[in-house]
Amino acid sequence: MRIAGVGSAFPKHYYEQEALVGALKNDWRHRLPNPDILDRLDDSMKVDGRYTARTIDFYENMTTFGQANDAWIEVGLEIGEKALCRALVGAGIEPRDLSAIFVTSVTGIAAPSLDARLVNRMGLSPNIKRIPIFGLGCVAGAAGISRAADYVRGYPDQAAALLSIELCSLTLQRDDLSMAHLISALLFGDGAAATVVCGSEVDSNGPEILATKSTLYPNSERVMGWDISEKGFRIVLSPEVPDTVLKHLGNDVDEFLAEQQLSRADIGSWIMHTGGPKVLEATAASLGLTAKDLEASWECLRKVGNISSTSVLLVLEDVYRRRRPAPGTLSILAAMGPGFCSELVLLRW
């Protein structure tokens, strides 16, 4: 099993972080007990700018979940198609030859799901197996690769795709002045990314998927996720997230590697979900890594913010295209998210 292609796409609207913070301050400054808190929070985000599904004025007039979800479908299909096309081209696979597609998003809903709507747009096979995923959030980029690998393990002559589409800006709740939502509004952005995973009987020079592991932490449902109401998605983001990463990730990785008769010293590169500054710092501390080890993740965070499940795939794309390790190098690809849980993938280049 190998990752044969990776591609990404973004909405056409990109704003420097200063412009986005300014728009939030204009809306919230008279309702926040201390308006300066947005500047203080922004200083800690380490984000230079983010893509948004719509222009700023759309969000100023967005009043219903229906408006947000309609935009999610329209823009999600546009950038999802581009990301998947780029991954397929990189893999040398025609759209009609794709056997299965996993589509993950936690920022909107649709029935028929986005994967069904992409069949006609892209000329995918009418017999393609469709697996929409909702609810995994940030962990879904790594989990989706694992599930695609599970599929091609059973069908080694086939190829499966994972497509992540996250339009976090459309979850903005203008009347939610909680600390969790303020952080979310300053950190999360929009984008899509796709990977193509091929079975062992399909030619590819991409990294080999050697093993995967999922770990769920009991009684941690309120660490991260959404509360969903008539107004749409309301962020659940506990201050415990970095501590949860610090507590569990190192042990998860060590146990996973031990099962493969390996240790951290055998890993030559790390492809980690961006999270946020505190999450990346906790990741480094839990694994004994340096900022240099996580350079690709830090750069992704700086350029586009946290894009939920899409982010780890963007880091993978960066490593795949610009930081490709020497042949034989082992990598860990990992993400954590709602559950609370971790997903680990062992790669060999």
What positions carry a catalytic annotation?
A: 138
| Tokens, residue 148 | 């695609």
Question: In sequence order, what are the beta bridge partners of 164?
Answer: 104, 193
Scan for tokens 């979310």, then name that residue. 184
Pairing of strands 129-133, 100-104: parallel
What does the angle CA 97 – CA 71 – CA 75 come to, to the nearest 5 degrees?
A: 35
Residue pair 50/308 in contact (Cβ under 8 Å)? The answer is: no
Residues 6+ apart with CB under 8 A from 111: none
Give the three-class secondary structure for 95.
helix
Per-residue b or e along 109-122, where b marks 16 or more CB atoms closer than 10 Å to that residue's CB: bbeebbbbbbbeeb
Give the three-class secondary structure for 141.
helix
End-to-end CA distance of the chain: 12
Give the three-class secondary structure for 37.
helix
| Tokens, residue 210 | 């050697």
What's 88-124 look like in SS3? Answer: HHHHCCCHHHCCEEEEECCCCCCCCCHHHHHHHHHCC
- Residue 327, preceding bond cis, omega within 30 degrees? no
Q: How far is CA 41 from CA 35, 142, 277, 285, 301, in A?
A: 11, 28, 11, 22, 15
- Sign of the Cα torsion 181, 185, 190, 193 reads negative
What does the angle CA 280 – CA 12 – CA 191 come to, to the nearest 5 degrees?
A: 35
